[in-house]
């Protein structure tokens, strides 16, 4: 939804009436994930995607009917459905789609926010119905189960359908922009910043050496800090939403950074170095008071084993592990959090 905001506002400025379709569930090889959005205006404009192109025409017609009726409903497209063959869902998957006659103010506000928000939509049952009022994760009337589902969706950055008490709800996540904190302005860090930028991560590069942490070396980094890791962590509000890659390969930088990141409950903490280096480092970290439970969370050697050794290849392995960590099952949130 966020990538469609500029288009949506332009259409609204023209006075267009706009409805939307949202992917609720996917089965098999469906090409677009839950939460993907298609916009359609009463004057015939279309933007976004719910299937990669194969059912957009029919979904737009469904939205057009919703704009006329003011009702909301769900529709399924799949290989077992004769309609799916007619509209061309040839990928072999099945998708359930919510059709809505408008874009609710709460959805627009959540998508526009950088703070992270969840919008909960009660889904219509078997027949078209007037859209039910939406809730957000900030609403006091949100029950415990829905609140837990909203927290999990926000942490993982994934929308989903939750079924409880005989009803179904779309839990639509608009997460905080993910933040990658890199300790050590080394060559691998330069490639890692470039990859992270393509994946829409905010990037912060920290190094105590001014000659390394320069704008010439890191033109795409969102922030460069010539600081010791402890001071930098306090300044940026390091916390549980952050991903930390420790790359300097120097114990006087690496180990304080690891202690700080583990203590703040960061979602991902990885440190560069061979298995022998990791073993010696863990012994020193134990001596510094790091618990075995926290050491279990330390990824080292950092990155997935892809076989490459060039800086860009190492950066790719690190970024792949970070993306995997971002989408793994939600864990109990740590006690310390950061305010954004």
Q: Which of 236, 235, 230, 237 is nearest to 254 (CA)?
A: 230
User: Burial, 289: exposed, middle or buried (Cβ in 10 Å; 0-12, 13-18, 19+)?
Assistant: exposed
H/E stretch holding 100 reads strand 94-100
Model confidence at 120, pLDDT cuts 50, 70, 90, reads: very high
What residues does each domain of the chain span?
Answer: 2-174, 179-327
According to DSSP, the residues that pair with 25 across neighbouring strands are 96
Residue 291 has pLDDT above 80, yes or no: yes
Q: What is the mean pLDDT of residues 243-252?
A: 93
Q: What is the token pair recorded at 230?
A: 């402890």
Contact (Cβ atoms closer than 8 angstroms) between residue 226 and residue 163: no
Give whichever of 11-15, 77-81, 329-333 has the largest mean pLDDT: 11-15
Report the C-alpha gap between 246 and 232 in whole angstroms. Answer: 13
Structure tokens given for 316: 């790719």
Note the pLDDT of residue 84.
47
pLDDT of 82 above 60: no
Buried b or exposed e, range 231-257, using 16+ CB within 10 angstroms: ebbeebebbbbbbbbbbbeeeebbbbb
Q: 99 is written with which tokens?
A: 């059709």
What is the Cα–Cα distance from 297 to 300, expressed in whole angstroms? 9
CB 8 within 8 A of CB 108: yes
What is the CATH number assigned to the segment(s) 179-327? 3.40.50.720
* Average of per-residue pLDDT across 175-196: 95
Is there a contact between 120 and 150 (Cβ–Cβ < 8 Å)?
yes
What mean pLDDT comes out for the span 146-159? 88
Our CA angle for 79, 44, 68, nearest 5°, is 80
Pairwise CA distance, residues 254 & 257, whole Å: 5
At 204-244, the pLDDT tens digits run 999 999 999 999 999 999 999 999 999 999 999 999 889 99
Burial class (CB in 10 A: 0-12, 13-18, 19+), 122: middle
26 near 95, Cβ under 8 Å? yes
Question: Binning pLDDT at 50, 70 and 90, where does residue 58 land?
Answer: very high
């Amino acid at each position: 939804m966020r990538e469609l905001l500029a288009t949506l506002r332009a259409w609204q400025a023209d006075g267009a009436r706009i409805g939307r379709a949202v992917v609720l569930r996917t089965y098999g090889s469906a090409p677009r994930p839950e939460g993907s959005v298609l916009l359609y205006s009463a004057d015939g404009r279309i933007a976004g995607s719910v299937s990669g192109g194969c059912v957009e025409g029919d979904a737009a017609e469904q939205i057009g009917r919703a704009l006329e009726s003011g009702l909301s409903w769900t529709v399924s497209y799949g290989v077992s459905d004769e309609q799916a063959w007619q509209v061309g869902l040839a990928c072999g998957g099945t998708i359930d789609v919510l059709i809505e006659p408008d874009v609710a103010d709460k959805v627009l506000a959540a998508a526009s926010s950088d703070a992270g928000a969840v919008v909960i939509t009660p889904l219509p049952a078997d027949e078209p119905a007037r859209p039910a009022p939406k809730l957000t994760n900030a609403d006091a009337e949100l029950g415990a189960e829905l609140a837990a589902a909203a927290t999990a969706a926000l942490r993982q950055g994934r929308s989903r359908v939750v079924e409880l008490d005989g009803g179904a709800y779309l839990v639509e996540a608009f997460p905080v922009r993910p933040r990658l904190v890199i300790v050590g302005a080394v060559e691998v860090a330069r490639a890692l910043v470039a990859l992270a930028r393509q994946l829409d991560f905010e990037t912060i590069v920290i190094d105590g050496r001014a000659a390394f942490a320069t704008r010439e070396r890191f033109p795409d980094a969102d922030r460069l800090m010539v600081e010791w890791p402890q001071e930098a962590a306090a300044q940026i509000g390091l916390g549980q939403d952050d991903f930390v890659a420790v790359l300097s390969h120097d114990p006087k930088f690496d180990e304080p950074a690891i202690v700080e990141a583990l203590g703040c409950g960061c979602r991902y903490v990885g440190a560069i170095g061979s298995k022998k280096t990791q073993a010696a480092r863990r012994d020193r970290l134990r001596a510094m008071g790091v618990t075995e439970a926290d050491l279990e969370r330390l990824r080292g050697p950092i990155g997935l084993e892809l076989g490459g050794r060039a800086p860009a290849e190492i950066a790719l392995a690190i970024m792949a592990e970070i993306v995997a960590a971002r989408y793994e099952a939600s864990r109990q949130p740590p006690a310390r959090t950061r305010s954004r």
